[in-house]
Amino acid sequence: MGNIVTLLFNGISEGCLIFLMASSLSVVLGLMGVVNFAHGTLFLWGGYVYAWIYNWTGNWPLSILAAVTVGFGLGILFEKIFISRVYGNMSAQIMVTLGLQIVFTELCRVFWGAQQITVARPSFLSGVSNFAGITIVHYRLFLIVVGVVVTVGGQLVLTKTRVGMIIRAGVQNSEMVDSLGINIKRYFTIVFAIAAALAGLGGALYSPLNGTLNSNMGAANQLLAFIVVVIGGMGSFIGSALGSLFLGIMVAVIGWVLPDISLVAPVLMMALVLIFKPKGLFGLAVRK
């Protein structure tokens, strides 16, 4: 019993981490129609910037802030200079975002080396509690709190503010938003930058969970995020929250029951969803 609860707990915390990547990927896809293959790179940069600043200063809030800021800045750079030129052109988008992924992953290796680096959790989050046979890793609890805050905050912005209204409308029909007199392109930049900042935050929170960083972690986590987008339904914020939880828990459970297939399990899961519910498990319930 305790084992199962611990497993669920771990799965949920992994899900919260994936959610940071997946929700932002999904909103960018829904609003701008851009499949952003450079999203994992932003995650990677978030992770490295965090580790670099943390190992250097030991100042945790500063390190998180730096990672988020770098993500945000790179997001503006990517959107303004590259992606804004290829809206509506799917094949050009794939080339541009893949190109950015390759270049910025290489740049990461140039700056921080190809070797694995290590980074510790801040001391106030590094404890473990036990009660009733359940093991609670404090850092994982913290990830869940972050996931809940981002979900609730994101949902409030989407449903209660004018910006949120514009994003919801733009996900369905950005041309019509434009026709109503709203400069939707400006929102594209800001949404892309916020999405990039969330990816950066994801990387910053992931590295101390893992303890080590290497330059492949961006691509690996991006794959999981893409799988969530497919499972959760494209462009759906709540869908990606549910999809992330689902994936996190399934991966944890499968990893325990059938460790041999735990690496391919997410891909298998996505294949099953695509076969039986091509619009995503939650997409239909949340969006039309």
Partner 1 sequence: MSLLKVKDLVSYIGLFTILQGVDVEIQQGEAIAILGRNGAGKTTFLRTLMGLVKTRSGSIELDGVSLVGTPTHKIAHMGIGYCPEDYGVFDSLSIEENLLLAKHKDDDATAERIEYVLELFPDLKLAYKRMARTLSGGQRQMLSVGRALVNENKLILIDEPSKGLAPVVIEKMALALKEISKKSTIVLVEQNFNMACAVTDRYYMIDEGRTVHNGQICDLIDDKELQQRHLGL
Q: Is 176 in the site for partner 1 (CB under 8 A)?
A: yes
Phi-psi region of 129 (alpha: psi -120 to 50; beta: other; left: phi over 0): beta
The alpha helices in 211-264, defined as continuous H runs, are 217-232, 237-257
Q: 89 or 216: whose CB is closer to partner 1?
A: 89
| Structural tokens at position 100 | 């950015």
Q: Report the nearest approach of partner 1 to the CB of residue 90 (Å).
A: 14
Alpha-carbon span 221 to 214, nearest angstrom: 12
Q: Is 168 in the site for partner 1 (CB under 8 A)?
A: yes
Q: Is 181 in the site for partner 1 (CB under 8 A)?
A: yes
Alpha-carbon span 141 to 30, nearest angstrom: 30
Q: Contact with partner 1 (CB under 8 A): which of 179, 210, 212, 216?
A: 179
Q: Which stretch binds partner 1 (CB under 8 A): 35-43, 57-65, 148-156, 174-182?
A: 174-182
Q: Which whole-number Å values give the CA distances from 237 to 19, 20, 29, in the listed order? A: 9, 11, 11
Q: Is 5 in the site for partner 1 (CB under 8 A)?
A: no
Q: Report the nearest approach of partner 1 to the CB of residue 128 (Å).
A: 42
Q: 138 or 168: whose CB is closer to partner 1?
A: 168
Q: Is 166 in the site for partner 1 (CB under 8 A)?
A: yes
**281 and 273 Cβ atoms separated by less than 8 Å:** yes
Alpha-carbon span 234 to 240, nearest angstrom: 8
Q: Which stretch binds partner 1 (CB under 8 A): 6-14, 96-104, 182-190, 270-278?
A: 182-190
Q: Is 182 in the site for partner 1 (CB under 8 A)?
A: yes
**265 and 35 Cβ atoms separated by less than 8 Å:** no
Q: Which stretch binds partner 1 (CB under 8 A): 49-57, 91-99, 168-176, 200-208?
A: 168-176
Q: 125 or 169: whose CB is closer to partner 1?
A: 169
C-beta neighbour count of 205 within 10 angstroms: 23
Task: Please count the residues of this chain forming the interface with partner 1, following the rule CB under 8 A.
Answer: 20
Q: Report the nearest approach of partner 1 to the CB of residue 52 (Å).
A: 41
Q: 162 or 260: whose CB is closer to partner 1?
A: 162
Q: Which whole-number Å values give the CA distances from 262 to 42, 252, 280, in the listed order? A: 26, 8, 22
Q: Is 91 in the site for partner 1 (CB under 8 A)?
A: no
Q: Report the nearest approach of partner 1 to the CB of residue 160 (Å).
A: 11
Q: Is 163 in the site for partner 1 (CB under 8 A)?
A: no
Q: Report the nearest approach of partner 1 to the CB of residue 169 (Å).
A: 4
Q: Is 175 in the site for partner 1 (CB under 8 A)?
A: yes
CA angle at 38 for the pair 56 and 153, rounded to the nearest 5°: 75
Q: Is 157 in the site for partner 1 (CB under 8 A)?
A: no
Q: Is 241 in the site for partner 1 (CB under 8 A)?
A: no
The alpha helices in the chain, defined as continuous H runs, are 2-32, 39-57, 60-77, 90-112, 138-160, 162-179, 184-210, 217-232, 237-257, 265-276, 283-286
Q: Give the footprint of partner 1 on this chain (CB under 8 A).
A: 162, 165-166, 168-169, 171-173, 175-184, 287-288
